[in-house]
Each structure stands twice: as C-alpha cells, then as structure tokens.
C-alpha cells in the first residue's frame, strides 16, 4: 500500500512487510550474489600486491605502487559516479552493469604489454568494483529482513578476506616460475576475478529488482 502525504512525501508498507518475511532461498541468493563481489575485491588487491607483472612489463617499484593507487582511485570514482545512478537504474541493473565493466576491464588488463595500458584498465576495473559498492550494502538494507540484517552485513563484507586468501593461494602457484612461465602466470591470475564475475551474473539473475518506494 502506498499513499501520498503532504509536501510530496510518500508512505509505504513495503519495508515492514519485507521485514516480516521468513528466511528463504531468495535470501541465500542475495547473500551469495553480493558476497562474491567482496571476494572479487579481495582477489584484486592481493593480485596487485603480488606484482607478478613487474618484471614482465619492466616496471619499477614506484610504478607498481602507482598501479595499486590508480585502482583505488578508480574505486572512488566508480562509487561516486554509479552511486548517483543507483536509484535511477535500480540495484540489480546497476550491479550487473558495474560487474560487467569490471569483468571486461580486468580481463583486458591481463593482456597488458606496457605499464600505461595496465594503468588504464586497472582504473576502469576499479570503477566497476566501486560501482558495486554503491549497490551491495543498500541491497542488504532493502532486501534482508531487519532481524537478520546485522549478521548478513558482517558475513557479506567479511568475504573480502576470503577473496584475499584465494588471491594469495593462486599467486603461490601462478607466480611460481618453475610451474608457469613468468609472462603467463600473472596474466592467468587476472582472469580469476572475471571467472567469478561470470558466476555472480548467473546467480544475480535469480534476484529480483529492488523495490522502489
């Protein structure tokens, strides 16, 4: 039920009705779909810190640090730009769009042959992850019943460290030059995130558009 009030305000019973919902498969899909987004960020940060591309691209330590900084700047820009579009596009549409942006940019960065090419696509990948930030926590607030919201928020945001662990384990093998050639291992590592991104997109199809009130 939606009723217009004075001064253009709108009152809705939708949030209260959603808070009374029992925990269901739908909520598990929300948790998994949103949680893997933070896993992606953990993977990305770990791969950057591992800097397996340093020698292949002839980069100095300062240039490697710049690559990480550019990625973080991209996150801030993405959060600001896409955050303003969240209510206009809807949580689900924005989430898919920014995830696709990250997926494409991170994959292209894996083909870098020079530092400036890596910088450009790391910035764009950062924008995609930053845009997801604009949707993740607001989606938790809107879609998860109040009595579960705190625990879900901690669980979803805590998955960042699972991503860092995956990135660290992957680096142990992919950056071991006795197992994988130096110029190939870090490129394969850059595809771990996009692969998980494709999984998220498949899961996200089962989550309906967030309600607008």
Q: Which domains does the chain have, with CATH numbers?
A: 38-204 (1.20.1250.20)
Position 207 scores a pLDDT of 53
Checking if the pLDDT of 210 tops 50, the result is no
Between 169 and 16, the more confident residue is 169
**Helix ranges (DSSP H) in 3-145:** 14-19, 25-50, 61-83, 86-89, 91-109, 115-143
Position 22 scores a pLDDT of 77
Position 74 scores a pLDDT of 94
Checking if the pLDDT of 17 tops 60, the result is yes
Position 8 scores a pLDDT of 60
The two structure tokens encoding residue 177: 């030059």
Q: How confident is the model at residue 181 (pLDDT cuts 50, 70, 90)?
A: confident
Position 70 scores a pLDDT of 93
Position 206 scores a pLDDT of 54
Give SS3 for 33: helix
Return the minimum-mean-pLDDT range out of 3-17, 42-56, 60-74, 88-102: 3-17
Position 78 scores a pLDDT of 92
CA separation (Å) from 23 to 105, 152, 191? 36, 12, 34
pLDDT tens figures, 27-81: 777 777 777 777 877 877 777 677 778 888 988 989 988 988 998 999 999 988 8
Position 211 scores a pLDDT of 45
Q: How confident is the model at residue 2 (pLDDT cuts 50, 70, 90)?
A: very low
Instruction: Kindly report the pTM of this predicted structure.
Output: 0.77
Q: Mean pLDDT, to the nearest integer, of 14-39? A: 74
- CA 90, 94, 97, 103 torsion-angle sign: negative
| CA-based R_g, the chain, Å | 19
Q: Mean pLDDT, to the nearest integer, of 207-213? A: 46
> What does the mean pLDDT of the chain come to?
79
Q: Percent of the chain beyond pLDDT 90? A: 12
Position 185 scores a pLDDT of 83
pLDDT tens figures, 114-157: 999 999 999 999 998 888 877 777 777 777 888 888 888 888 87
């Amino acid at each position: 039920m939606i009723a217009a009030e004075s001064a253009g305000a709108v009152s809705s019973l939708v949030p209260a009705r959603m808070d009374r919902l029992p925990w269901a498969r739908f909520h598990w899909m929300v948790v998994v779909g949103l949680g893997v987004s933070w896993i992606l960020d953990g993977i990305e940060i770990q791969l950057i810190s591992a800097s397996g591309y340093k020698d292949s691209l002839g980069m100095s330590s300062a240039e490697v640090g710049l690559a990480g900084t550019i990625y973080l700047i991209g996150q801030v820009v993405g959060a600001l730009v896409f955050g303003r579009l969240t209510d206009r596009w809807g949580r689900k549409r924005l989430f898919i769009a920014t995830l696709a942006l990250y997926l494409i940019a991170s994959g292209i960065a894996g083909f870098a042959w020079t530092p400036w090419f890596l910088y450009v696509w790391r910035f764009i990948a950062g924008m995609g992850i930053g845009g997801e930030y604009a949707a993740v926590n607001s989606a938790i607030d809107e879609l998860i019943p109040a009595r579960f919201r705190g625990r879900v928020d901690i669980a979803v945001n805590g998955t960042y460290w699972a991503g860092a662990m995956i990135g660290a384990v992957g680096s142990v093998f992919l950056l071991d030059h006795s197992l994988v050639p130096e110029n190939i291992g870090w490129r394969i590592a850059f595809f771990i995130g996009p692969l998980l991104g494709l999984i998220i997109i498949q899961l996200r199809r089962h989550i309906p558009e967030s309600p607008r009130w």
